[in-house]
Amino acid sequence: MTIPRKQQICLETTRYYHCTVRCVRRGFLCGFDRVTNTNYEHRRVWLEQRLQQVASVYCIKLCSYAVMDNHYHTVVYIDKEQALKLSDEEVIRRWNILHHLPVLMKKRLEGVELTKAELASARRTVEIWRKRLFGLDWFMKEVNLYMSKRANKEDQCTGHFWESRFKSQALLDEKGLLSAMVYDELNPVRSKSSSTPEQSPHISLKERIKELKNNGQRLPCMHPFMDSAKHLDAAHVPYNLLDYIELVDWTGRQLRADKRGYIDDHLPPILSRISFTKQDWLRIITQLERPRAVMIGTTQMIKLIARNKGQTRTSGYALPD
């Protein structure tokens, strides 16, 4: 049975979500279409830029992403607290980056004196926009609708570009978050479109490597990694960036037949810290998307969430405790 979206997105449970969207009929509408011999590779650039733009405006940041020929993945962090702290003017300015403002809201932003009725109406609109700025549905809509319209305009056609709105999985704990992020980064390696993660042009690892080279300066769309034990909190991805990059590289080598076992004796520090065995990790990183799971986490966490929701069972991908 399909679970309603409002039950899948629960910020009291987790702020991290893994989202996937596929092109209609699984066509290669963002890569090389072998049926029509048409190259749509430039659309991957459009999609990556749009993801980054929307994440820069919304209070939803990118932990990882991968833009493929016929689908894309992203792991996001929803910062509800940031949205609630924004001033009314900042909410309007952010909304105006992606949308045209109604006349009333332009007057509000320009400081024009409003009547009591106009002011009340403007405040109601601001609160609607504020909620949208941390709404995952709206975030994905901003990305997907833009791509649909732009691609259809290029093709001079109408109709669906994506096969559905999007699929989401709640990431309940560190193991679930790490699994989904690395799974995204290694999509090009698994599909054999790239031999190594660092050669993949449209994944978030590229931006993370730039971040290292630029002394920690990152794009505003990216959710930051912790830089020390002092920053182990919700405002940071709970891993060290260097350790994360090492893990992605190590896992990518294990997935390649010609490199398998190359550094077997060395288990990346992250896996040791959160108690993943090599066998469990490689199984998970190749099978994560197969189950129809609405949440990913340890068996203990999935049971706890189900119990809190009054459910005897739930659709979750259980990781080793």
Q: CB burial class (10 A; 0-12, 13-18, 19+) of residue 96? A: middle
Tell me what pLDDT residue 264 has. 47
**pLDDT by 10-residue block (mean), the chain, 321 residues:** 66 94 77 79 94 98 94 97 97 98 95 95 98 97 94 87 89 94 91 80 91 84 79 78 90 69 60 84 83 85 82 78 76
Question: For the domain 12-81+135-308, what is the CATH code?
Answer: 3.30.70.1290
- Count of all residues that appear for the chain in the document: 321
The model carries a pTM of 0.91
Which secondary structure element, helix H or strand E, spans residue 307, and what is its range? helix 299-308
CATH 3.30.70.1290 maps onto the chain at 12-81+135-308
- Secondary structure (DSSP) of 154-194: HHT--S-SBSSS-EEEEE-SHHHHHHHHHHHHTHHHHTTS-
pLDDT tens digits for 135-172? Answer: 999 999 999 999 999 988 988 888 888 988 899 999 99
The β-bridge partners of 167 are 20
pLDDT attached to residue 66: 96
Location of structure tokens 């048409």: 38
